[in-house]
Amino acid sequence: MGNGNRPTPEFRREAVRLALTSGRMRREIAEDLGIGLSTLTRWLRDERDASEPSEAPVDVHAELKRLRRENAVLKQERDILKKAGGLLRERGKSMTFGFIEAEKANFPISRMCHVLGVSQSGFFAWQERPACLRQQQDMVYLAHIRTAFALSNGTYGSPRMHRDLVDDGHEIGRHRTARLMRENQLIARQKRRFKRTTDSEHAWPIAPNLVAQDFTADGPDRKWGADISYIWTAEGWLYLAVVLDLFSRRVVGWATSDRLKRDLAVEALRRALVARNPAPGLVHHSDRGSQYCSVAYQALLRKRGVQISMSGRGNCYDNSMVETFFKTIKSELIWPVAWQSRQQAENAVARYIDGFYNPVRRHSSLGFQSPIAFERKAREVS
């Protein structure tokens, strides 16, 4: 090619093709075509650069925004799966649609349908479809369950709840009750460990252990148990003394005080004696605390013909029936609340004992009956 002629595009393309496909050395091809080696090399480099796509500049802010959006979606899907864990095991479409209906204020419907593997059209069709008879029954049962659960201060599990529904005339099974409570996060509070203290370092006389861990009784007012516990408030300790009927687990007398004095136990006993007026021969059991060994307390018992029984030294099981009551009232009422005053705590204890524990709360040891109902039935039988 002459030095004065400018190479045409076709000439350049042919030179590049020969250099790439002929297998000959680039110098030889350049000499044949009458061009310099550097020119051929430059043409090859331009061809290679033109064939490779150029990378578009990255918008860092846009990429960060995209990654944040994807992270939010993944977090939302994780939360949906966490909340719907039970549904993924049972996999009922109606249950899944019910979950979506309940959570549509918290998550997008489309995302819940995608994560749970159902269609949006199916969900919307389910919304318009009238509830079947079983679903309607579940709604009625759930309303009763929520009422009883609130009344029990969130302490009823499925066994007590099932017995409550059956006694109210509802034909519902134990497993159905448990399912409805599980699906609606109605989980009973778990009990905490109980720590008790007793002042047994005193010179008062000690009575023998007549009960000997036999807490059974053939009727009301045959055996009573007594003990004292404590409740922490922002104003300081509030002490609670109770007298329990061992036959029915009923609290027959109780009293509170801001001081741990002997008068506290005496007041609880007086209330029990006035309320029940037991016949002579009743066995009264307590620990060896100074409140129960005092002259005033034992004199009141002997005056009414009550036999006095006391636990063995350092044996917490000898008065376990009353300690179980304290564990129950603390787990169901005391521990979940930060009490601001002694009066507030005392009012709550009164409502719990007189308004719930004695007349309503179901005890598994009493065949899931309340103490008052158990006593009433015993008297009817006798």
What integer pLDDT is reported at residue 26 of this predicted model? 83
Choose among 320, 262, 254, 310: nearest CA to 286. Answer: 310
Instruction: Give Cα separations from 40 to 33, 129, 218, 328 (angstroms).
Output: 10, 77, 115, 95
What integer pLDDT is reported at residue 28 of this predicted model? 82
Locate the DSSP E strands across 83-235. 223-233
pTM listed for this prediction = 0.54
Which three-class secondary structure string do you get for 73-93? HHHHHHHHHHHCHHHHHHCCH
30, amino acid identity: A
Classify 370 as helix, strand or coil. Answer: coil
Integer-rounded Cα Rg, in Å, for the chain is 41
Indicate the burial class of 219 (C-beta count within 10 angstroms; 0-12, 13-18, 19 or more): middle
Are 129 and 139 contacting, i.e. CB atoms less than 8 angstroms apart? no
**In the numeric block, which tokens belong to residue 297?**
């307390």
What integer pLDDT is reported at residue 62 of this predicted model? 81
Classify 231 as helix, strand or coil. Answer: strand
What span, in angstroms and rounded, lies between the C-alpha atoms of 148 and 155? 10
pLDDT per residue of the chain (382 residues) written in tens, 0 to 9: 545 567 888 888 888 888 888 778 888 888 878 888 888 888 888 887 776 655 556 677 887 888 888 888 888 888 888 877 755 555 567 778 878 888 888 888 888 888 888 888 888 887 777 666 777 787 778 888 888 887 777 778 878 888 878 877 888 888 888 888 887 778 776 555 444 444 444 445 678 888 888 888 989 999 999 999 999 888 889 999 999 999 999 999 999 999 888 899 999 999 999 999 999 999 999 988 888 888 899 999 999 999 999 887 766 677 888 988 998 898 888 888 888 899 999 999 999 999 999 999 988 888 889 999 999 998 888 6
